[in-house]
Chain A
């Protein structure tokens, strides 16, 4: 399948429409990790999803990222329901449309910073060196993850996610393993990446302070969204404590 078959209908406005999305676990579907969620996400937004541990944040993110199968519902991006895609096309979707940033960075320990980024470089797209420059690590490109600090590792992981110029950047507790100063830098970096307002950036966290910098805050509990608001005047990252 070609990329064109995936997304980009002529009038694509960058919106992602999630409707009646559910994910159940257990033999009798007794664990409702995500329960009938309907949501629309727009290009240029910096979305923070807040919720306690076990509330279903990661589940939502994983479904958005095409990493898991849904129980019910659909995720529509420019006319394509990604929940219905074949495994092969889903792989292509992950490869070309979404970027993932994990709490524990998940870098390949056997590859240098640059090589880790090169792993998701697309032909004809941004160069890995450039992505590393964007995250301010051009001088550490030949170091292995074990030689980098947590914050630096997370920046490599961000570089790996943005090198493909994704439509959606999905970050699952990106500051969860970092100290507050480094965490702030990472959030700042994520905001800077979206300077052109051409991506949807979703940051999942259980830290409510972080929500103050978001364009939009979504709160989730027991797999249900109970709060969804646009913040007209988000604070800058320097003004908050995380």
Chain B
């Protein structure tokens, strides 16, 4: 008998294959996402951990006035691994690529902590970030990079324009995001040679080694005990050192490290959101499909029971399908998930970060992957058990009696045409409540996912435009270092107005919590922003206020260097990108912490005008509003990937759900449709009944989906928080329209497909056998 059951299983499987395909597909999607995101997380986490370990990322950064022998003695006595380094923030340009940006120039003594990973080329000379290199189509040994350094020599401040031929490319752990500034590594010898050459040229003499040692200004430290080290160093500099300690950072203040860590966090959270939605839908689809299967095989089950086959055996027979389908779907899904999803995600990661290729290795978390396959298969089995539970507990006689559907056709002749179709549809929906609910939920899920997909795009657009266009309405934003900048700016054609601002990275404490954020000192009653600040006022971004539980009238403490002030919050404003604290009074913060900037109003902003600004002596950065927006968009490109994934999967989901629904309807109603055909009803009215039935479910589902769209959006985005942007949730009206159109179109296509099936139903064939 077992052998016969095996055959029965195989044949039932193939004769219901179309129906089963939807289950396989949806399980495929769910397990593809689940395994793909799990693998991606492990790979990414692994890559970054390896990266930080291999490059020996520093734990503490000390910014100092200089490093003398006593200082070095102190650090070596401290028993920590340390390294001194010269760090210069300046502006750099690539003449051949017509590109320029902020630059972070690193000159290592040895390069054993935060060790740059040399990707190609040579360590000696000038090594630049690999993404900067490839984005600008540069060539090793040919293209040059230029920057200006100011250098104190014999008590005098000199400025040199230096240019270096690019000799290699690298990834630098602490500056892995090359968007806001370019990391550049210069070897000590190359740098000293260039500086000495510049000095000699200035003095008009032959080459001489005037400068033999670098004016180191950073000390990197590897230590387990951050707090103890920081306080020891602080004490040393206060009491004994000739040099001053400006400030100290740990990893939480290094943007690149923070971004990478939050990216890891996001990649982990990705595991939960979509796969779980799809898993949920899978359960629904398995439930309907298996339930439908047992309903359809009701008579056969009755027969099996009447010849004395135990319930358990029958149940196992039908539940096997759920397990089998899930096993097939999940194995396929896992294979595709591992193959596809990490590759897609790493395209994005490599776009935004410089991660050494060597450290990106396919690490398959076998245990979890097996768990996914096993878990989904078990789930399929259990869900199927639930689906056939009800029918199995019926007595054999009840199962052998003809089911309702054949008796439903009675008395149809009395009803008029259109009401008949509609009435029929409504009656059909009522007769199959489980299937109706499943289909409605499926369509609701698809609608909600679509809206969420569009909503993410809308939210990003809205959030960015909220700050750039509404909160701030300058045309060009710049940062500069030189006072002459303002004077030179008058030569910018079309410039009508400008305003200065200062930006400081401060730490804010309130209500026992501390947060690092930007402090903007803007002009009183600024015309460049709607964030209206009067003298004595302190305005704070809503996102920060919410996070730190600050409300109007609360006191906050702002610390920068040795300066600490207490302010009272007078206003809370909504911002998205420019999050921070806004003041207009001078509270006497140390000049050296300030980034000076200017917001410029200018007609017809062209690339030439931006280039002009960038060419002004003393400019650090110059961006037009649209360039700035583009840059932000690049930074949040991961979310865009998500948006598109969501839309694709939502449509796939809709197709699967609707196809499944139509197949179910058709299958259970072949006899009924055949009877209607025999009775002389035309194709149209049969289709109309079908269409009405689908429409009613679709409309209900869509409405529920539209209601759920916004909460889903908030959920998805709150799991995917990013550093650069504070989301202002929004779904545009047009997105609703588009989602409705897409769902509608899918329904139409699927219904048209079924039209062919109805045409093909052979009256005689269907009516002949009772089975």
Would you list the 5 A-B pairs with minimal beta carbon distance, nearest first?
A95-B308, A94-B308, A110-B11, A67-B396, A106-B303
Q: Mark A52-96, 1 if CB is under 8 A from B, else 0.
A: 000000000010010111000000000000000001100111111
What's the nearest-Cβ distance from chain B to residue A133, in Å? 19
Segment from A41-49, A114-122, A195-203, A220-228 that makes contact with B:
A114-122
Q: Knowing A118-B4, A119-B1 touch, does A94 contact B12 (C-beta < 8 A)?
A: no
Measured CA separation A83–B302 after assembly (Å): 19
Of all chain B residues, the one with the shortest Cβ separation from A104 is B770
A234 CB–B CB distance under 8 Å: no
Instruction: Find out whether the CB atom of B12 lies under 8 angstroms from the CB atom of A110.
Output: yes
Instruction: Find out whether the CB atom of B299 lies under 8 angstroms from the CB atom of A106.
Output: yes
Measured CA separation A160–B305 after assembly (Å): 14
Q: Mark B738-770, 1 if CB is under 8 A from A, else 0.
A: 000000000000000000000000000000011
Instruction: Find out whether the CB atom of A91 lies under 8 angstroms from the CB atom of B299.
Output: no
Q: Mark A90-110, 1 if CB is under 8 A from B, else 0.
A: 011111100010101011111
Known: A91-B305, A109-B300. 13 other contacts (CB 8 A): A67-B395, A68-B396, A95-B308, A102-B303, A106-B300, A106-B302, A109-B769, A110-B7, A110-B8, A111-B8, A119-B304, A119-B307, A120-B1
Q: Mark B277-306, 1 if CB is under 8 A from A, else 0.
A: 000000000000000000000011011111
Q: Knowing A67-B397, A68-B396, A110-B12 touch, does A119 contact B4 (C-beta < 8 A)?
A: yes
Which chain B residues border A208 with CB–CB below 8 Å? none
B309 CB–A CB distance under 8 Å: yes
DSSP class of B's interface residues: helix, strand, loop or mixed?
helix
Among A96, A106, A107, A108, the residue within 8 A (CB) of B308 is: A96
Measured CA separation A104–B302 after assembly (Å): 13
Choose among A67, A100, A107 the residue with the greatest number of B CB atoms under 10 Å from its CB. A67
Instruction: Find out whether the CB atom of B309 lies under 8 angstroms from the CB atom of A119.
Output: yes
The 15 listed contacts between A and B (C-beta, < 8 Å) are A69-B395, A94-B396, A96-B308, A104-B770, A106-B299, A106-B303, A109-B769, A110-B12, A111-B11, A115-B8, A118-B1, A119-B1, A120-B307, A120-B308, A121-B1
Q: Which of A103-151 contact B (CB under 8 A)?
A: 104, 106-111, 115, 118-121, 146
Of all chain B residues, the one with the shortest Cβ separation from A163 is B307
Of all chain B residues, the one with the shortest Cβ separation from A87 is B311
Which chain A residues border B586 with CB–CB below 8 Å? none
For chain B, the bracket of interface size reads 20 to 34
Q: Which of B377-418 contact A (CB under 8 A)?
A: 395-397, 400
Of all chain B residues, the one with the shortest Cβ separation from A109 is B771
Measured CA separation A30–B310 after assembly (Å): 33
What's the nearest-Cβ distance from chain B to residue A78, in Å? 18
Q: Knowing A104-B770, A106-B299, A119-B4 touch, does A68 contact B395 (C-beta < 8 A)?
A: yes
Which chain B residues border A68 with CB–CB below 8 Å? 395-397
B156 CB–A CB distance under 8 Å: no
B134 CB–A CB distance under 8 Å: no
Choose among B8, B11, B307, B309 the residue with the greatest number of A CB atoms under 10 Å from its CB. B307
B137 CB–A CB distance under 8 Å: no
Of all chain B residues, the one with the shortest Cβ separation from A94 is B308
Instruction: Find out whether the CB atom of B307 lies under 8 angstroms from the CB atom of A100.
Output: yes
Instruction: Find out whether the CB atom of A115 lies under 8 angstroms from the CB atom of B311.
Output: no
Which chain A residues border B302 with CB–CB below 8 Å? 106
Choose among B1, B12, B308, B396 the residue with the greatest number of A CB atoms under 10 Å from its CB. B308
Measured CA separation A94–B1 after assembly (Å): 15
Of all chain B residues, the one with the shortest Cβ separation from A172 is B400
Of all chain A residues, the one with the shortest Cβ separation from B310 is A91
Which chain B residues border A65 with CB–CB below 8 Å? 306
Measured CA separation A214–B249 after assembly (Å): 104
Task: Give the number of chain A interface residues (Cβ < 8 Å).
Answer: 30
Choose among A102, A106, A118 the residue with the greatest number of B CB atoms under 10 Å from its CB. A106
Q: Knowing A62-B397, A69-B395 touch, does A91 contact B12 (C-beta < 8 A)?
A: no
Choose among A88, A102, A119, A160 the residue with the greatest number of B CB atoms under 10 Å from its CB. A119
Among B4, B15, B771, the residue within 8 A (CB) of A115 is: B4
Which chain A residues border B305 with CB–CB below 8 Å? 67, 91, 94
Instruction: Find out whether the CB atom of B303 lies under 8 angstroms from the CB atom of A108.
Output: yes
Instruction: Find out whether the CB atom of A160 lies under 8 angstroms from the CB atom of B11.
Output: no
Measured CA separation A118–B305 after assembly (Å): 15
What's the nearest-Cβ distance from chain A to residue B297, in Å? 9
Choose among A65, A110, A160, A161 the residue with the greatest number of B CB atoms under 10 Å from its CB. A110
Of all chain A residues, the one with the shortest Cβ separation from B307 is A120
Instruction: Find out whether the CB atom of A160 lies under 8 angstroms from the CB atom of B7.
Output: no
Measured CA separation A100–B397 after assembly (Å): 12
Q: Which of A139-197 contact B (CB under 8 A)?
A: 146, 160-161
Which chain A residues border B11 with CB–CB below 8 Å? 110-111
Choose among B3, B11, B306 the residue with the greatest number of A CB atoms under 10 Å from its CB. B306
Measured CA separation A104–B300 after assembly (Å): 12
Among B4, B311, B400, the residue within 8 A (CB) of A91 is: B311
What's the nearest-Cβ distance from chain A to residue B1, in Å? 6
Measured CA separation A160–B1 after assembly (Å): 12
Instruction: Find out whether the CB atom of B1 lies under 8 angstroms from the CB atom of A92.
Output: no
Which chain B residues border A92 with CB–CB below 8 Å? 308
Which chain B residues border A62 with CB–CB below 8 Å? 396-397
Instruction: Find out whether the CB atom of B307 lies under 8 angstroms from the CB atom of A95.
Output: yes
Instruction: Find out whether the CB atom of B769 lies under 8 angstroms from the CB atom of A146.
Output: yes
Among A69, A95, A107, A161, the residue within 8 A (CB) of B309 is: A95
Choose among B7, B400, B769 the residue with the greatest number of A CB atoms under 10 Å from its CB. B400
Which chain B residues border A120 with CB–CB below 8 Å? 1, 307-308
Instruction: Find out whether the CB atom of A94 lies under 8 angstroms from the CB atom of B7.
Output: no
What's the nearest-Cβ distance from chain B to residue A6, in Å? 12
Instruction: Find out whether the CB atom of A108 lies under 8 angstroms from the CB atom of B300.
Output: yes
Measured CA separation A88–B400 after assembly (Å): 19
What's the nearest-Cβ distance from chain B to residue A194, in Å? 20
Q: Mark B302-344, 1 if CB is under 8 A from A, else 0.
A: 1111111111000000000000000000000000000000000
Which chain A residues border B307 with CB–CB below 8 Å? 94-95, 100, 119-120, 160-161
Measured CA separation A115–B9 after assembly (Å): 13
Of all chain A residues, the one with the shortest Cβ separation from B302 is A106
Instruction: Find out whether the CB atom of A115 lies under 8 angstroms from the CB atom of B306.
Output: no
Measured CA separation A104–B306 after assembly (Å): 14
Q: Mark B1-39, 1 if CB is under 8 A from A, else 0.
A: 101100110011001000000000000000000000000
Of all chain B residues, the one with the shortest Cβ separation from A67 is B396
Of all chain A residues, the one with the shortest Cβ separation from B15 is A110
What's the nearest-Cβ distance from chain B to residue A81, in Å? 18
Instruction: Find out whether the CB atom of A111 lies under 8 angstroms from the CB atom of B7.
Output: yes
